[in-house]
Structure 1
């Protein structure tokens, strides 16, 4: 079981939340380990406020609300796997597409037990689980023979609400099939789902349409965040962001990586010209065009953010400030260098959007140079000193020790993104 799910169930038990896993026990181990699907939990209406506090504390996000249940999505920072929880306050029954009835049963109407492997996971007793399985299967149209249901109707007690419901729904169980009896008696003994079925259908169509338009499968924010990754070459920015983008949790919640550096241009032919032109004046003109190219990418980032996606921006915002500061320091007082700094200052307009969060991957010269040798060690050392000096003046910047083992850096970055 994921550490995140262990904390969830332990917290629910310690705070005396009325809950139990009401179905899917045959594959519960896989679901709880983040390897399969969602965990189906019944929570009493009275306990929902405490349940929501626990969910918030563990950084789960509410990602979907339907006419029968609410879905919560979180990430386990230990194993970097997602956890999906589906919560109901009344147990829904009916055909899978609609689930247009609820069982008139409350938390106190069930007999509970501890899960055979996980003591903090509450489940139904074996007998009550068999009874609930009959109700769910017959409502779905899955027929069970009388000798296969796992209990005897003659043993049912009229003092228990669950047993009385079974006796009422399937009073003629010896002569008719359970599915037929359920369809015949459901409107008499079950609670009709008051949600408008047409409204529910339109919601599903709207949801599917948004997915087709590129919105995240699980949208956890109305408006995404722009998270800037700052640091010299060799700090590990691209390695970290590309691995994060490939993770299941971030794929489903919607996350995009964007590069704002000078190695990849969007304007056709700019990459080719940048490598061919030797004239210094033309190079300066090209550098101005390159800056425009970089700044125009902000609009693409904003489009993703409007979809609710987070954007991880490699070489964004502070790199331009650093370049301008560095060029001013390099100015040797000649007319030529002064003109160069003036033109760079003129065209080096700051990005239109300030980062929501900035992560500075602070790396030592030796470690950075061992990873990348794009330029000489002395220049790399000078750049690192410059970045550190600039970042020290920015209270909003979060420092990440990029000299550490990659897994430690990776987990620290994910923790900052999720927080």
Structure 2
């Protein structure tokens, strides 16, 4: 009986933590290795606080944070309680000719290893886009096609940050930012979490937790980040401009739009079809009006299940040894730069449109070109009404906003076409 009790005590997480710390100290490890696991647990709790109390993107930040908590629980490596083995996905010793050893993952993997296959194989992000397509109204974009230019301009931050990450990697070689890592970091500027995950899982999987957490955290902070930039780059007169009401969009136009966009994107950027195609399929299901059951399933049950799986498994990749690095700090800083430049890019093109149309375009709608739907459009509405209470920019801003969803997916396709091997 005493031996059984002693065996139980030796199998606990407390024993595993003490054992890990003593081994690290005896082998001459640094202080970060000693406190890494407790620190990651604290970080997980902070993220849970932001998701639950501050409501920062709770639908994804909450499962991400809990994934971080689960994967950093102290356990012995030979314990069946290990839920996630990052080495199965990133360590060359566990790969077969550079590819996943699926048989080993099924035989030895934990629960989160199995669920993470949906991320690694590129299944979850396109399914998220399917649900987004059903919930998206492309009417404002169809009514004002010029909006797509604002969505494109708001990808400015993606490419500026890509160059910035390359420069940082060249200046500090130890940080390890090559072209693949720079492309993954740059896509944060698109303000689209699933797209950032889709690119990163292919180009730089070791950076996935940091990029995912940065992307969703900054998306939640759009109401804080954007207004100072919007007010700094526009005048009071420009912010007060009242735009004309958008024309009605016919059902035929709404049905033809997703079909035409899919064909055009497939011909120009085939690597973006997985995301854009599923986005347009979802929208076509909605606009056709002939598959209500599919629409309800995709935007509710399926979307919710995939969101849980995606967030939980992405968070589970954030182990102390891979997350607590200088690279993570660089990603956090560059992610903020990406959002700022994307907002500025849309605003500056909005100002140009304002001048070319002799004051018919309120440049504030340009800031909505980032693909955080509909949050960015709401920020344009709020800032516009602060200057002119009779100003209603929401529907005008939705045009660039949904264009930004397409733009970020196309930018992702460009990076994948250029750098995926």
TM-score range, shorter chain: under 0.3
The structure having more radius of gyration, on CA atoms, is: 1
TM-score with structure 1 length normalisation?
Answer: 0.27
TM-score with structure 2 length normalisation?
Answer: 0.27
